[in-house]
Structure 1
Amino acid sequence: MISKTCARRTAAALAAALAVSLAPADWCQAAPASPYTAAANQQVYSQLDFSDEREKEFAERGLIEAPKALEIKDAKGRVVWSQAAYSFLQNKAPATANPSLWRNAQNNHVCGLFEVMDGIYQVRGYDMSNITFVRGKTGWIVFDPLMTVECSQAAKALVEKHFGKRPVRAVIYSHSHVDHYGGVRGIVSEKDNVPIIAPEGFEEHAVSENVYAGAAMGRRASYQYGTLLDPGPEGRLSIGIGMGQSVGQISYLSPTVNIKRTGEKLKIDGVEMEFQLTPGTEAPAEMNTWFPQKNALWMAENCTGTLHNLYTLRGAEVRDGNKWSHYLMESLSRYGDKAQVVFQAHNWPHWGNAYIKEYITNTALIYQFIHDQSLLYLNRGMTENEIAHAIHLPPALEKVWYTRQYYGTVPHNAKAVYEKYMGWYDANPVNLNALPPAVSAKKYAEYLGDPQAVLEKARQDFAKGEYQWVAEITNQLVFADPKNQEARNLCADALEQLAYQAESGTWRNVYLSGAKELREGSKFDPSRTPPPSPDIRRKMDSSMMLDDLGIMLDTDKAHDLNFDVNLHLTDTGEKYLLKVRSGILLYQKGEEAKKPDAVWRMPKDGLFTLLSKDKEKQAKLIRQEGDKSLLNRFSDAITVTKAFFNIIEP
């Protein structure tokens, strides 16, 4: 939170401040929009047709009940999700917000229970994603039970308020991202014994994404989703696919039915469904669902009413824009002539066959364009950064509201295409082994000379509206000397103006998060993030746990660690040969060394004690034969990664 002792800065005060040095306390409040930012945002009104309100009409259509002021709390009274915090959106877009993003935020602020069509209902705005209830003969089929238990429970209660209590006959996970399955225990439990249906490969990807790079993704997600920011005209808005992350309890139940091919059909509680697998699009494992009895098409997260990510800013494997486009055209071929409504895991449905065909086609066009045009530029010898600044949507696509850049953007998706085909290297030898940022920054500062002279030039460029350059040069000063508060302040102000102009909610969050940490320092606030989910970690298979141990094994600490261990998992019957060489872990399933240095016998939970470095539990669960020093040496070299690290400073 901003200190209450900080006076709100006016535009005049901001301009005056740039000409002088100020104490840190003078800079701890968000600045207003500069004249350049205000003009840039005003220009958006002439670029887009704000009289076209079809998306708003679709967002409001079918509303059964909207809560007066939605706040969802956990058992301890902590607010884990709030739409009430966005009540300011009833006002006109201020100069501190891109009016296009503001409109998207207003549409995402429309929350409650909606009828998609007779027998299909959605609760929207109760989490980042939507939860869908399809009525069967005796109960519900639930699609994508949100991210956290508290939110799905609240959504279910709202449905029951209007339709009474009906049993859940099946749960369907559309894809392997946590905001589409994490609230499952708010809907069903193991005791309910209902089928849980998912695309093939779902569990592998759902678990691995939250484990292998989970710490880094979680920290970067705090920037992408603005979890450390407060909602407000100068703060967090929507992210294009919702208002952000809920921070309740994440849960998980394994799928019991895996869909293995496109065209596979199921009939549950009288509801006929046909599935279309779309792997490698928005998620590694994903599927759409066709309801032939209703001529309704569930598009998972392949169509979302916004440009999505080929690369997500929190970090993930690059997605394939070419495949994405092709699968959308396959959807159109299979179901396009019959579909009367398309609904999805984020945002609102779209109705009318002609409009649906246009909606799917335009969504396919935008991913195909980014893929193809990026490769065209790539083959001309342009680097990813050059491509990102050169690529622009064709004028007709620029004006389509449901493909605007609220979540993904054309520039960072174009960079993703480059990375997919060419990797990180731009072929310039200077960049082959570039210095670490903090090292190069100190050399830049040394060559540039007096930091005050640099700051004076940066202030002059700020006054001209050159915010990107000001952010770049002042961040060099910050990396050279993190205690240079004037550089931190000016960098923060530049990032803030970039945020105010951003149409992408995630870009806005990233800029504002960086500005906040430059002003206040990097501080971890666990109340702003979901707690770890024991359910997901328990679903790691033994090989995945060994992979994770290898990731956590710090070779710098264990370069002299060399041994062979026969690992016996007593409850699963699995056997592994662990080979550690120079502190690097290799393993072979089903193999044993004839003369091992040690034998470790443990239940599978014993591997968790190694991952958590819990020596007391290790002693209880792990039986050793042979060299008993190896277990301690191995465990000591395991490094439990921190959930929080610096981003905007070294």
Structure 2
Amino acid sequence: MNHTEEFNKQIITVIPGIHCAIGYGIANSILVEGIDGNIIIDTLESREGAIELHKDFQAISSKPVVAIIYTHNHADHVFGAEVLAGDNVKNVKVYSHSTTRKIIDTAMSVVQSINFQRSARQFGTYLTEADGHINSGIGLYLNFKRNNTRALLYPTDTFNTDKWALTIAGREFVLYHAPGETDDQIVIHMPKEKVLFAADNIYKSFPNIYAIRGTTTRNAIQWASSLDLMRNLRPEYLIPSHTKPISGEDYIHEVITNYRDGIQFVHDQTVRFMNKGLTPDEIVGNKLIQLPDHLQVHPYLQQFYGTVDWSVRAIFDQYLGWFSGKTSDLNPDSPIVRAQNLIRLGGGNEKVFEMAKIAYSEQKYQWCLELTEALTLYPEDANVSDIIQLQVLSLQNLASVQTSAPARNWYLTKSLEIQGLMDVKPVAERRVQSILKSALNSSLMLLPVSLDNKKANGVNQLILFHVNDTDEHFSIHVRNEIADIKWKWPENIHSNDVDMIVEVNKEETWKQLIAGVKSPILAHLNGEIITKTGDEQTNSTGGIKLKTFLDMFSEQ
């Protein structure tokens, strides 16, 4: 696969005053020069990634940045904002759809650990050129490694209508809500200049209707509808948030039309075969859905990023859920039991390993991978190092035949992980910083999904919290191995039902407590928290009790 020509680091001046930066990370960032200030559209994926771009944008125009527009919530569009805002960071306005902040906060809290790991595999974040990394499919690389930090600015001005016309620094913009790759996606039209900023609704690759890093299925019909909106604007310049800008009204109209037709075709044919009773494996395995010839060869529908097969599986799941309809899939054995049964069927570990080696020699790398995965799950007396080495070879060969960069990157990353040469995990500091910089209600979202149910077994404790500097009340009730969090104190509650009341001096103190950077015992001794019994009597041992309570949350 060679898809590197799109991603050499450069700043393209699309028309005077509008500049698109490519290759500084996986996403593009756009500088629009206004009369008395500049506007930035999307801001790269990290503080570290945005530093060089900020200097290069300043070299083009030293006017203050007065506005930032987020096209959607993805990390590669929002986490460099504070850097690109420059000296005007305290005064800059940040525009987005009204749902963007909520989605950012959710992604930063409940699934951030697994999202980091799977994203690193999909984008090849830890791969080097020597490891076989080429690019990330829609950009050169994701500049968000283990120690990189976020420079997020939350939206200050939002809209929840179909469109929003506004003037910023003398420039006229129309923001359209155009859900596609995300539900909060907006596209930005500058009608006088006939420029359309396409966000992630179109890029030079088959779209990611499902991303293997882990996402809900993107609604294909909704995406196609947004592309209809875009093509009907008849722009002369189209600037995606990934891959190069293109120009020419007729050519842009043709590109968008074919792109939306490709999405609709895969959707419609998937549903057609679903209605015939076929499973995802049958549809994909029998290659029943292939793009029509004119779409198959179109440069904007090559499967460098998303793939038709992944889209088929995602669309099936969107309509019918995880169950394929094949009866043996209803209650399958555990992976270890299946591995054990497969090895027994094959005549034992030694014979199955020989079969895996034969599969490899016959270039049946997928079958070799499945056999070696079974052997590593149920190794018995097998030579595990030999099994892993064969598994590594099968992964590397599978990577070599992938068109999709995410698939290639995943195979190569896993090959290094199973050898112990790569550890794809976020540092603890990243979680801490996410909590400290998030809103209070967002930090609370992390607690229920961090509860160690074994530690909470038999526990029935209700604690009421009051944060003094923000005058916010919430309760945490651990009962029957779940954490029930309410954003206010329960009404008509009897004091005997309350185990403790905790007065926290500052919101910052609360975040430090749940991030694990401040001890509840020390905070209690220092007067940063005051604990009382349910009948409002001071509790001298409250710091110890609060520590025991918070220790039930496994991430502490």
Relative to the length of structure 2, the TM-score reads 0.90
Change (3 A) 1:364 1:498: same
- Residues 175 and 199 of structure 1 are in contact (CA less than 8 Å); yes or no, is this contact kept in structure 2? yes
- 1:313 partnered with 2:248: no
Worse overlay, 481-490 or 560-569: 481-490
**Aligned residue runs from structure 1 range 446-485, under 5 A:** 446-481=344-379, 484-485=384-385
- Residues 606 and 618 of structure 1 are in contact (CA less than 8 Å); yes or no, is this contact kept in structure 2? no
Change (3 A) 1:218 1:484: same
Change (3 A) 1:524 1:403: same
Change (3 A) 1:388 1:466: same
Alpha-carbon offset, residue 300 of structure 1: 0.7
**Aligned residue runs from structure 1 range 564-579, under 5 A:** 564-579=462-477
Count of residues paired in the alignment = 531
**Amino acid paired to 1:310:** I
Q: Distance in 2 between matches of 1:561 and 1:401?
A: 59
Change (3 A) 1:483 1:423: farther
Alpha-carbon offset, residue 127 of structure 1: 1.0
**Amino acid paired to 2:501:** V
Q: Distance in 2 between matches of 1:252 and 1:376?
A: 43
Alpha-carbon offset, residue 369 of structure 1: 1.7
**Aligned residue runs from structure 1 range 219-230, under 5 A:** 219-230=117-128
Counterpart residue number, 2:269: 373
Secondary structure of 1:565's aligned partner: strand
Q: Distance in 2 between matches of 1:529 and 1:369?
A: 42
**Amino acid paired to 1:306:** S
Counterpart of 1:637 (choices 537, 547, 552) is 552
Alpha-carbon offset, residue 495 of structure 1: 1.6
Secondary structure of 2:92's aligned partner: coil
Q: Distance in 1 between matches of 2:245 and 2:331?
A: 48
Change (3 A) 1:530 1:172: farther
Counterpart of 1:267 (choices 167, 172, 179) is 167
**Amino acid paired to 1:386:** E
- 1:184 partnered with 2:81: yes
Alpha-carbon offset, residue 262 of structure 1: 2.3
TM-superposition CA deviations, 1:476-506 (whole Å, max 9, x none):
1122129612222222212211111100001
- 1:346 partnered with 2:242: yes
Q: Distance in 2 between matches of 1:483 and 1:585?
A: 44
Alpha-carbon offset, residue 607 of structure 1: 3.6
Secondary structure of 1:244's aligned partner: coil
Q: Distance in 1 between matches of 2:428 and 2:139?
A: 17
**Aligned residue runs from structure 1 range 107-506, under 5 A:** 107-108=6-7, 110-161=8-59, 163-188=60-85, 191-232=89-130, 235-247=132-144, 248-279=148-179, 281-333=180-232, 335-336=233-234, 339-389=235-285, 390=287, 391-481=289-379, 484-506=384-406
TM-superposition CA deviations, 1:603-633 (whole Å, max 9, x none):
3334424433346256413322127465233
Q: Distance in 2 between matches of 1:123 and 1:259?
A: 26
Alpha-carbon offset, residue 295 of structure 1: 0.5
Counterpart residue number, 2:532: 625
Alpha-carbon offset, residue 435 of structure 1: 2.9
**Amino acid paired to 2:68:** V
Q: Distance in 2 between matches of 1:353 and 1:554?
A: 57
- Residues 250 and 530 of structure 1 are in contact (CA less than 8 Å); yes or no, is this contact kept in structure 2? no
Counterpart residue number, 1:17: none
Counterpart residue number, 2:536: none
TM-superposition CA deviations, 1:534-573 (whole Å, max 9, x none):
6643453333322211110111221211022222122221
Alpha-carbon offset, residue 427 of structure 1: 2.9
Alpha-carbon offset, residue 594 of structure 1: 2.7
Q: Distance in 2 between matches of 1:610 and 1:393?
A: 54
Q: Unaligned 5+ residue runs, structure 2?
A: 534-538
**Amino acid paired to 1:600:** V
Q: Distance in 2 between matches of 1:148 and 1:543?
A: 24
- Residues 250 and 531 of structure 1 are in contact (CA less than 8 Å); yes or no, is this contact kept in structure 2? no
**Amino acid paired to 1:416:** A
Change (3 A) 1:342 1:514: same
Q: Distance in 1 between matches of 2:428 and 2:551?
A: 28
Q: Distance in 2 between matches of 1:392 and 1:556?
A: 49
- Residues 407 and 505 of structure 1 are in contact (CA less than 8 Å); yes or no, is this contact kept in structure 2? yes
Change (3 A) 1:402 1:251: same
- Residues 176 and 202 of structure 1 are in contact (CA less than 8 Å); yes or no, is this contact kept in structure 2? yes
Alpha-carbon offset, residue 106 of structure 1: 2.7
Secondary structure of 2:444's aligned partner: helix
Alpha-carbon offset, residue 533 of structure 1: 7.2
Change (3 A) 1:353 1:416: same
Counterpart of 2:484 (choices 586, 594, 599) is 586
Change (3 A) 1:584 1:290: same
Alpha-carbon offset, residue 153 of structure 1: 2.4
Counterpart of 2:514 (choices 579, 588, 611) is 611
**Root mean square deviation of aligned Cα:** 2.3
- 1:514 partnered with 2:417: no
Q: Which has the bigger relative contact order, CA under 8 A and spacing at least 6?
A: 1
Change (3 A) 1:421 1:558: same
Secondary structure of 2:532's aligned partner: strand
Q: Distance in 1 between matches of 2:429 and 2:19?
A: 30
Change (3 A) 1:606 1:424: farther
Q: Distance in 2 between matches of 1:513 and 1:483?
A: 23
Alpha-carbon offset, residue 577 of structure 1: 3.3
Secondary structure of 2:295's aligned partner: helix
Q: Distance in 1 between matches of 2:389 and 2:482?
A: 43
- Residues 198 and 259 of structure 1 are in contact (CA less than 8 Å); yes or no, is this contact kept in structure 2? yes
- Residues 175 and 286 of structure 1 are in contact (CA less than 8 Å); yes or no, is this contact kept in structure 2? yes
Change (3 A) 1:168 1:492: same
**Amino acid paired to 1:267:** T
Secondary structure of 2:27's aligned partner: coil
Q: Unaligned 5+ residue runs, structure 1?
A: 1-97, 642-650
TM-superposition CA deviations, 1:340-369 (whole Å, max 9, x none):
010011110111011100111111112212
Change (3 A) 1:439 1:521: farther
Q: Distance in 2 between matches of 1:460 and 1:584?
A: 50
